[in-house]
Each structure stands twice: as C-alpha cells, then as structure tokens.
Amino acid sequence: MLKKIGVIGGGNIGGVLIQEIVRRGLAGCVGLVDILPPELAKGKCLDIAEGTPIIASDVKLVAGKEYSVLAGADMVINTAGVPRKPRPDGTIPSREELLVTNLKITDQVADGIKKHCPGAIIISIANPLDAIVYHLYRKLGHPKAKILGMAGVLDSSRYRYFVAEAAGVSVESVEALVLGGHGDDMVPIRSCCRIAGMPVEKFLSTESLDAIEKRTRGAGAEVVKLLGSGSAFASPAWAALAMAEAIAHDRKKILACCALLEGEYGVDRLFVGVPCILGAGGIERIIEADLNEAERVAFQKSVASVTSTCAEVDKLAP
C-alpha cells in the first residue's frame, strides 16, 4: 500500500478519485489540493471523512488550498486544469484548445510537486494530455519511469465497451488497445482487439468496427456534448485508479499509458500512449506492439499531432 496519494484538483475527476482511494484503501492517506475558494478541497474531504465509518475505511484525508497538503505523498494524481465545454454554438473544442490555460495551471502544479513531494510517481490527467505530461517532465526532470499520463486505459475502455455492446458480450471478455496521442487521431489497434482470445473480426463486420473506432476517437467529445458543462469524469478517474492500483500493488499489469519514448516505435523524446508494464517502480517496461501497416501510419499521424502540440508548449514556455 502507498503511504499517501496526493490529488491535485478536487473538481469532477478529483472528487471521484478521492472517494475511490478511500473506498479501496489504496493508500494510508489522501492529500487533496484545490485553489477554489472558499475551501472546496476541505469541503470534499470532510464530506468523505464523515462517511468513512459507514464504508469501514481508516484512510485519512488532508485538504487545503496550499500545496503543502501533498507533503509526504509517494504518488500524485494531477487533475488541475479546465475541462472542455461545448461552445455557445454547440460545437466542441479540441483538447488542444485548452493548452494555453492549462499550461499556466501546470506551472503551479509542477512547483507544488517539486517543493512538497519531489520523489512522487506522477499520473497526470489534465488535457491536452500528452503535452501537459511533456511540460511537467520538462519542469520537474523526473525519472521517466515515474511520470506518466492517463489516457490509453480510458480510450481502450471506451473501445472495449463499444465492441462488447455491439457483439452482445460481457465487457470483461473484450481486450483492446488504443495507442498514440489522446487526441482526435488516437489509434484503436484492431489487430490487438480480441474477444475471449479470438480476433474481433470473427464477431463484428468491418463496417461495424470502422464505426466503433470512429466513435472511440470522438468518445470524449460525445460526453462533453451530452453533459453540456464539462467533460467525462467517472471513467477517467477509474482509468487513473487502475494505473495507481497496478503500481501500489506491484501488479506488473500491462496498461496503455502516456510514456516518454526514447527510440521505441521510432519516436524520440515525446510522451505518447503505448502499452507499459506498471509495477512498484512505475513504468517498468514499454512494450512495442506489432502494428500492421495501416496502424503504423495512423500511429505516425497521431505522433505528428503530439509533436506539433509539444512544439507549441516549447514556444509558450521556452
């Protein structure tokens, strides 16, 4: 078990995270920081703390507007940042459009981590995902095993859900992988999608899989449109928790994570979603999946998008 998990940002995703960390007993203590007045973080944590006798949890909660509540954390999950919302005309902005605002917030996040828990493993969720992780890495100089982004677990889960629904099977029977950046050109890897070990094409037609993969790429925007006031929060939080759990319990689980590539997949010094073995050390190994030609081309296109957003980061925060 971890000693303490620091959660940065106590909004929609942060709220689910702290509830689940306490319910699952993932760490001895949770520290929540949120700058929102009057005392959002304290309010959320007090509410949960008062319910701990009901769910028989002895996980302690500390909260505040100051980053000092992160002191002693061996893991930090970062959710600080604005989410997407529909524009007045009903259209949905891209995640990349959050960059300017969320980059400034990430500067505060990095300063807080550096000061109060410099050795913590970082799982970052704020968008645009790959570029924010890249910025955090540049600011913190963390070992690459200890800084990762949550996106692939969520995107793969969305793909799995749509496949299970269409095939009329349990979600548990579907294995899937979505790689690349967490943007509109993320890459669902059909050749890795299996239903109970059998190729997905045995169950679903090409047309149906094409539609499912298109829906997967736009799944975040679909939820933003329906909610009207923000973006998906339960599934992103559960995805980050799956990563945190694999690390906390040294499970050696293979999960798609946004990780620093240094030559793998032909990519150098960029954070992109790839399958990783997660254990006590964080990212213990990056797995190079065998992609077919179409998947390789799609992956390169997605990497090009991440490259251009990171170039923007370099320009905005040289």
Please identify every residue annotated as catalytic: 182
Does residue 243 belong to the site contacting ligand APR (CB under 6 A)? no
Do residues 38 and 258 touch, judged by C-beta distance below 8 A?
A: no
Smallest distance, Å, CB 211 to ligand APR? 25
Token pair recorded at residue 307: 């490259």
Does residue 240 belong to the site contacting ligand APR (CB under 6 A)? no
* Binder among 24, 28, 35, 60 for ligand APR (CB under 6 A): 35
For the purposes of burial, counting CB atoms within 10 Å of the CB of 108, is it exposed (0-12), middle (13-18) or buried (19 or more)? middle
Residue with the closest Cβ to ligand APR? 11
Binding mask 51-80 for ligand APR (x = CB under 6 A): ----------------------------xx
Binding mask 77-96 for ligand APR (x = CB under 6 A): --xxxxxx------------
Smallest distance, Å, CB 210 to ligand APR? 26
Integer CA distances (angstroms), 123 to 144, 148, 257, in order = 12, 5, 9
Q: What region does 108 belong to: left with phi over 0, alpha with psi -120 to 50, or beta?
A: alpha
Contact window for ligand APR (CB under 6 A) among 4-12, 134-142, 269-277, 304-312: 4-12
Name residue 302's amino acid. S
Q: Which of 317, 303, 313, 292 is nearest to 261 (CA)?
A: 303
Does residue 309 belong to the site contacting ligand APR (CB under 6 A)? no
Does residue 236 belong to the site contacting ligand APR (CB under 6 A)? yes
* Binder among 125, 257, 261, 286 for ligand APR (CB under 6 A): 125
Q: Is the dihedral of CA 16, 127, 63, 244 positive or negative?
A: positive
Contact window for ligand APR (CB under 6 A) among 3-11, 24-32, 261-269, 305-313: 3-11
12/126 Cα distance (integer angstroms) = 12
Name residue 298's amino acid. A
Smallest distance, Å, CB 10 to ligand APR? 5
Do residues 159 and 213 touch, judged by C-beta distance below 8 A?
A: yes
Window 283-302: residues binding ligand APR (CB under 6 A): none
Do residues 187 and 218 touch, judged by C-beta distance below 8 A?
A: no
131/111 Cα distance (integer angstroms) = 17
Specify the residue, 17 or 163, whose C-beta has the smaller distance to ligand APR.
Answer: 17
Q: Is the dihedral of CA 234, 83, 143, 3 positive or negative?
A: negative
* Binder among 157, 216, 231, 235 for ligand APR (CB under 6 A): 231
Does residue 127 belong to the site contacting ligand APR (CB under 6 A)? yes
Q: Which residues are at the interface with ligand APR (CB under 6 A)? A: 8-14, 33-36, 40, 79-84, 98, 102, 105, 108, 125-127, 230-231, 233, 236
